[in-house]
Structure 1
């Protein structure tokens, strides 16, 4: 596996500010070089502060495409929806001008929505200029869960699919998730972590060569620069 660049900060506020600046700079470069930029983000509590920093930046947001790395199969108005979190904390002020692509449809199930979401994602300039991942305590990232029966399909490095439906047995709700192959193509891949326990789990996952957890498999496959941003 190629080198992972580890960035450690004294506080979560410092991390949020610095990561937002790095993301903003990468998007600016993409716009200058290609006329547009694309960003895929994760949900959960960890990125909220970073979102609030990023939304203050005066980029050419009308030239930026934003989507989610994964989401729970719940309505976008549901309190457990990653889309709701992104709308409440990132898609405000200047960022309202960005093109947001939802991972939710009116289909009855995540499986039934895959084809429509695949088509939507084709409109986003890819590979993603920046893709930000989190990690669970079981080593999952995006919705690539170790317990999911769909893991091997979702994590196939040569998959031509961008998204897959996932049904984890250890977490609530069906999920829709970018595949490992889609994630691995990102020009800049970021893992955003907080807390000593998450750091320990992350380091153990990378060191365990006999059981490659999803977070390690993604980093193994990633083609562009890989960065970890961490604070206690």
Structure 2
């Protein structure tokens, strides 16, 4: 199966690359261009990214792009509720692979706080996100179950987090089969981004995307909430 064979919704575009390296390079070039345009237009830019292993090469290429990083705010679509020093921390991942060299001048807005419980941490993150400027570029990933950010099927709070008109920016989430409690930006906040990209690789993700396109139950596969006009999909085998 190729991504060109999918019956994507009108207005959703898909780009296919021969390798993860070519995808990462192209995505970094495009994102840097969009951030530069935002800085030129309004003096600042905001980038929201997803964690996990997949974006590492993209982060490394983006960190080398020439732009005024001091005018860029970076945040995470979701975070595991673990300290930054923990191997599974998305914030730690960013600090190791993106916020290096000139890119270290970017302002990082973290979702994690060492609160007594997950709900309190989510409330603190929600207050911090009130200070997040409008999102210029959002990079999403997707799991084989159709989750994106940490909007997991079957998780408590999912219905509220998927509310298109919700005012809360951050919700506590549980990954049904993956260790660690999570914090995630809400659908409403994520969907407010000017430029939205879904970056995936491998045939299993293409199969998942095909299933998502074929149905309309957002709670069953939360990625469906973002299969909307202007979404760009980057995929490689």
Shift of 1:106: 2.3
**Correspondence for 2:34 among 10, 15, 26:** 26
- CA displacement, residues 170-220 of structure 1 (integer Å, 9 cap, x when unaligned): 221110000001011100010010111111111211112356510012334
The alignment of Structure 1 onto Structure 2 pairs a total of residues equal to 228
Q: Is residue 80 from structure 1 mapped to residue 85 from structure 2 by the alignment?
A: no
Q: Is residue 195 from structure 1 mapped to residue 220 from structure 2 by the alignment?
A: no
Please tell me the root mean square deviation across aligned C-alpha atoms, in Å: 1.4
Cα gap change, 1:36 to 1:197, in 2 (>3 Å): same
Shift of 1:2: 4.6
Cα gap change, 1:197 to 1:189, in 2 (>3 Å): same
3-state SS, counterpart of residue 31 of structure 2: helix
Q: Is residue 208 from structure 1 mapped to residue 187 from structure 2 by the alignment?
A: no
Instruction: Find runs of 4+ consecutive structure 1 residues off by over 6 angstroms.
Output: none
Q: Is residue 55 from structure 1 mapped to residue 52 from structure 2 by the alignment?
A: no
**Correspondence for 1:158 among 165, 169, 176:** 165
| Number of the residue aligned with 2:183 | 176
3-state SS, counterpart of residue 59 of structure 2: helix
Q: Is residue 37 from structure 1 mapped to residue 17 from structure 2 by the alignment?
A: no
**Correspondence for 1:114 among 122, 132, 139:** 122
- CA displacement, residues 19-51 of structure 1 (integer Å, 9 cap, x when unaligned): 000000000000000110000001111110010
Counterparts of residues 136-151 of structure 1 (less than 5 Å)? 136-151=143-158
2 CA distance for matches of 1:210 and 1:162? 22
2 CA distance for matches of 1:151 and 1:133? 17
Q: Is residue 6 from structure 1 mapped to residue 14 from structure 2 by the alignment?
A: yes
2 CA distance for matches of 1:174 and 1:118? 16
1 CA distance for matches of 2:201 and 2:217? 26
Which 10-residue stretch deviates more, 40-49 or 2-11? Answer: 2-11
TM-score (norm 2): 0.92
Shift of 1:3: 1.7
In structure 1, stretches of 5+ residues that fail to align are none
CA contact (8 A) 1:147 1:170 kept: no
2 CA distance for matches of 1:51 and 1:82? 12
TM-score (norm 1): 0.94
In structure 2, stretches of 5+ residues that fail to align are 1-8
- CA displacement, residues 89-144 of structure 1 (integer Å, 9 cap, x when unaligned): 10001100000011111212221022321222222211x10000000010000000
2 CA distance for matches of 1:151 and 1:142? 12
3-state SS, counterpart of residue 43 of structure 1: coil
